[in-house]
Amino acid sequence: MSKHPGSNQIVSRERVAEHGEVYTSEREVNAMLDLVKDETQRIDSRFLEPACGNGNFMVEILRRKLAAVTARYGRSRGEWAEKAVCAVCSVYGIDILEDNVAEARRRLYSVFADGAKAVLGGVSPELERTVSYVLQRNVIWGDALTLQSADGTGRPIVFSEWTFIGGGNVKRRDFTLDALLRSAPIEGPNLFSDLGDEAFIPLPIKEYPNVNFLKLSDNGQSKLQP
């Protein structure tokens, strides 16, 4: 689980006893991410933290991705904005404690806002709306063991896949976490394997029309998870 820089690794003994909440130190987070350094600097590589706490792993991943965006696209405001949103779209988290989820979203937005301020001079209303919406979809209050929302409704955890298809447009597809973990078998050999094994492709529960990356929140007809 993650921790806020400068905070204690344990919030309270009660949370440790009830939820096993012990935060990972910043030094350990960076050491672990350095093991996959190239992936943390690839803008569209997806990361899922199933017990994200208040977001230290996700925050550092996003910070590294945005540094890569700035290094490659910092001279173009339009390209920077698109690639920075792509970076945000690639980071996912789940936590069973609602306050952790809220803080993780706030911290991730703050990292994005700092990057935007340095390159763009600030966050436009369209960018703010888009990034806030994506963080609501990507950082979920849920139980990664039951694969359900933690609000007691029994709803499955649903994540959105955001695929940037060129021209500033994004294709969104929603998947249950259960489907992503188990996948649905299809007949025939795996086209990416010469071992003759079956291919497993997760099936989306909903697809959306392609939309400009600044209009992602306008394409969210389904009710957000808390």
- Say whether pLDDT at 111 is over 60: yes
Residue type, 32: M
- Say whether pLDDT at 74 is over 90: yes
Q: How confident is the model at residue 34 (pLDDT cuts 50, 70, 90)?
A: confident
DSSP string, 182-197: H-EEEEEE-TT-SS-P
Q: How confident is the model at residue 14 (pLDDT cuts 50, 70, 90)?
A: low
> In this predicted structure, what is the pLDDT of residue 64?
95
Q: What is the mean pLDDT of residues 67-93?
A: 97
| Cα(31)–Cα(41) distance, integer angstroms | 15
Of the two residues 70 and 7, the one the predictor is more confident about is: 70
Question: What is each CA distance from 191 to 70, 87, 95, 187, 200, in whole angstroms?
Answer: 36, 28, 35, 11, 11
> In this predicted structure, what is the pLDDT of residue 38?
86
Q: How confident is the model at residue 191 (pLDDT cuts 50, 70, 90)?
A: very low
- Say whether pLDDT at 67 is over 60: yes
Q: What percent of the chain has pLDDT over 70?
A: 77
Q: What is the mean pLDDT of residues 195-205?
A: 70
Residue type, 187: E
Longest dimension (CA), the chain: 53
Q: Which residue is listed with tokens 């698109």?
A: 82
Q: What is the mean pLDDT of residues 14-27?
A: 53
- Say whether pLDDT at 145 is over 90: yes
